[in-house]
Copies of this chain bind each other. A is one copy, B any other.
Amino acid sequence: MYSAGSLFQLLRDGRPRTRAELAAETGLARSTVTQRVDSLLASNLIGPADKAASTGGRPPTRFAFNPNARYVLAADIGATHARLALTDLAAQVLAQSADDLLVAAGPETVLDWIDRVGHDLIASAGRDPADLLGVGIGLPGPVEHSSGRPVSPPIMPGWDGFDVQGYLQDRFGAVALVDNDVNIMALGEHHVAWSDAPHMMFVKVATGIGSGLISDGRLHRGAQGAAGDMGHLQLPHGTDVVCRCGNTGCLEAVASGAAIAAKLAARGTEAKSSFDVVALARGGNIEALQLLRQAGRDIGEVLAAAVSLFNPSVIVIGGSLSQAGEHLIAGVREIVYRRSLPLATQDLRIVQSSTGDRAGIIGAAVMVVDHALAPAQVDLLMASAPAATVG
């Protein structure tokens, strides 16, 4: 039995349908379809699309998802950089803003920036503040998604246990959802490029290294929201490199952008960050290319075990270092296909991120849309919203 919210899920694929087609697809009575469609039209979540072909007389109206009925604010906060976008309900970016901002400046500074810039984006776009569906935010540390609070984040002083969700909900008067930055990147990449792959692993290789797991089309967050934390797994062959976490031989201490920059600097090449490593690689610096390839192999050593355990159909390599060309990913493939179990790699694809630095923004929007446009939420939305004119 389809509620209006369930019927709406069918239309979220963007394909317009007539009332008769919706009745055929759902098995609902025509009268019920008409009633549900009227509620959805009133909420503006669907609108009339093109006219359908008909054998004569007035052609029946087709209805389609209206991604502009509401909008979302999506924030991607990194260690030293913040992005904020206004997107439609299909997670398409309509306007955005970015700034150099230290997450270590603390939650009030960062969230006040989102408050100010978010309201500016809404005003510049000429949108009604009441049409904000919600705010999504990704943070560079572990987050308890259900409460919207960071949990012992290592590079975010002042954020531990801070009520990010409540703070944003107060400022915007709309639902706010919070997650780890790698989790939202996984959501964004999955939404844009791999929505037909139920099991996906997204690996972010940047200043740090982390991953996000998609299981049966949904984010696997784990008990503490810590799932996918692979930067501090120990490399099988062992190294004596000391990591910032206090252990030795962590993947991140050996294969991250920061680690490669340090190795280049030790050899006399000027490099301070992932950004420098990417620039050197693009410029054809042989040492940088060799180090990227070896970093890919080291990441592959850890991923080989993850592939056997999680059995994804695709691994997406993203993060700033993935933009340096094919050397990193070639190293990953070399080891994963050698070391993982044959069954788990028989159809496995290992590919570069197609969303690049937009993955986080898109994913933060998808997180909000998937939550707020779920059937039960849409039913609530329609029960509470004043009837809008059909646009």
Q: Tell whether A220 is near chain B: CB-to-CB under 8 Å.
A: yes
**Interface size bucket, A side?**
35 or more
On whether the beta carbons of A229 and B311 are closer than 8 Å, the reply is yes
A1-B1, A215-B215, A238-B236 are contacts. A348–B223 as well, Cβ < 8 Å? Answer: yes
- Least CB distance from A32 to B in Å reads 10
Q: Tell whether A313 is near chain B: CB-to-CB under 8 Å.
A: yes
Question: A1 is contacted by which of B3, B222, B230, B313 (Cβ under 8 Å)?
Answer: B3
Stretch at the interface among A52-60, A114-122, A162-170, A302-310: A302-310
What is the count of identical protomers in the complex? 2
Question: A152 is contacted by which of B1, B152, B311, B343 (Cβ under 8 Å)?
Answer: B343
Query: In the complex, which residues 236-259 of chain A have their Cβ closer than 8 Å to any Cβ of chain B?
Result: 236, 238
CA–CA, A310 to B229, complex, Å?
A: 8
On whether the beta carbons of B1 and A309 are closer than 8 Å, the reply is no
Q: Which of A223, A238, A308, A312 has the most CB of B within 10 A?
A: A223
What B residues does A312 contact at CB under 8 A?
A: 222-223
Q: Which 10 A-B pairs have the closest CB atoms?
A: A222-B311, A1-B3, A223-B313, A227-B311, A226-B311, A215-B215, A226-B343, A215-B220, A226-B344, A199-B223
Give chain A's interface residues, CB within 8 Å of chain B.
1-3, 6, 142, 151-152, 197-199, 211, 213, 215-216, 218, 220-230, 232-234, 236, 238, 302, 305-306, 308-313, 339, 341-344, 346-348, 379
